[in-house]
Structure 1
Amino acid sequence: MQPSISAEDPADLVPEDADATGLEPTLYEATLIPYRSLDERGFLIVMLVIAGVSFACGLAFMLMGAWPVMGLFGLDVLLMWIALRMNFHAARAREEITVTPSRLTVRKVSPNGFAVDTEMNPLWTRLQTEVHEEFGMQKLTLISRGTPTEIGGFLHASERKEIAAGLSTALAVAKRGIDRSLT
């Protein structure tokens, strides 16, 4: 997760000549990725330990005459390898959020690489949160013209709270910037 707001002062975020140059400042930009505590090196270590323990236990059973148990220990290792590989595959998903004064873009990329882009107008977008007393923020949704887009479903509650704070600030700046240009 790499949320950032590009400037401290909201007045600096929307220059008066933004329409004249055709370029808009980025008010908020974040790339959300699922957290995984196990990297490739850790995966190798875990699999070697599991395989070693399974082999030793299976060998002990085989020497006692229960030779079919050896195959079951091998099946355990295979199932653990499949489960961890599926976990690594799911970790390739990500969400990219960009807010400018006239556009809010959410790009959701699946683990297979398929992307779904959702574009919204910050003036018509509101941020809705579901907070549980014990567990913190459980759901973070952008709603534009009645259409909800959930973001950060794979994040921890504290990370959702951080994203919500950044997004609400960026949406407020975008709305103030438009209000300022109308007066």
Structure 2
Amino acid sequence: MSDAVAQAVHFNATLVPHRSLSRRGFRWLIGVLLAANLLIGLPVFLLGAWPVIGFMGLDVALVVVLFRLNYKSGRLTETLKLTDSALIVTRLDPEGLVEETRLDAYWLRVDMDDPPEHESRLTLISRGNRLVVGRFLTPDERLEVAKALRAAVARIRTPTYDHRWE
């Protein structure tokens, strides 16, 4: 089938990392940390131990930097699109680089432990090519994606007949 002919999409999922702390929650957290540091640091400063304030500011700065890195890694997305002939995995990293991998749909095998363990990986295998997807998902979320993708692959492989025997 040529690329000019649109193929049916049998499965389409976009995987994104979960971030439990919103931007508003992040601001609240930093505000609480600053207030706590001020409550502890001000009396210590007044007692003459002024360097303590600087170190308390460093710990807040470190928390801000680490959360920013965490939010940046949260911009990673993976899109799985299953057509009649291929599974197209498009990975968009936090820097905006796009990586696309095509796996033959007919030979596609979806590997995942059931029940999942913490180290379980969702691996897509086709003609010797292996691709691990959804590393940032929880084991149960990976299993859910694996089951849905297996069902979609099974539907592609099952022939459909549109004639009647009457």
TM-score (norm: length of structure 1): 0.81
The within-5 A match list for 1:114-153 is 114-131=97-114, 135=117, 138-153=120-135
Alignment partner of 1:32 is 2:32: no
* Maintained 8 Å contact 1:95/1:107: yes
Counterpart residue number, 1:175: 157
Contact 1:108 1:115 in 2 (8 A): yes
Q: Is the 8 A contact 1:129 1:141 kept in 2?
A: yes
The TM-score normalised by the length of structure 2 is 0.89
Contact 1:101–1:175 (Cα < 8 Å) also in 2: no
- Distance in 1 separating the partners of 2:119 and 2:114: 4
1:105 and 2:88 matched: yes
Structure 2: tracts of 5 or more residues without a match: none
Is residue 30 of structure 2 the alignment partner of residue 43 of structure 1? no
Q: Give the number of aligned pairs.
A: 161
Q: Deviations over 1:8-61 (max 9, x none)?
A: xxxxxxxxxx99x93322110000000000111111111111111112211121
Q: Superposed, which structure 2 residues align to 1:63-102 within 5 Å?
A: 63-102=46-85
Q: Any stretches of 5+ residues in structure 1 without a counterpart?
A: 1-17
Q: Offset at 1:180? A: 6.4
Deviations 1:61-112, CA, capped at 9 Å, x for gaps: 1111111111000001100000111111010001000001111100111111
Q: Percent identity?
A: 34
- Larger helix percent: 1
RMSD: 2.2
Stretches of 4+ aligned residues off by more than 4 angstroms: none
Q: Name the CA shift for 1:87/1:136 in 2 (closer, same or farther; >3 Å).
A: closer
In structure 2, relative to structure 1, the CA distance for the partners of 1:120 and 1:180 (3 Å cut) is farther
Tell me the SS of whatever aligns to 2:134.
Answer: coil
- Give the structure 2 partner of residue 7 of structure 1: none
Residue 128 of structure 2 aligns with an amino acid whose one-letter code is G
Would you say the 8 A contact 2:8–2:83 is kept in 1?
yes
Counterpart for residue 22 of structure 1: 5
Partner of residue 143, structure 2? 161
CA distance in 2, matches of 1:110, 1:168: 26
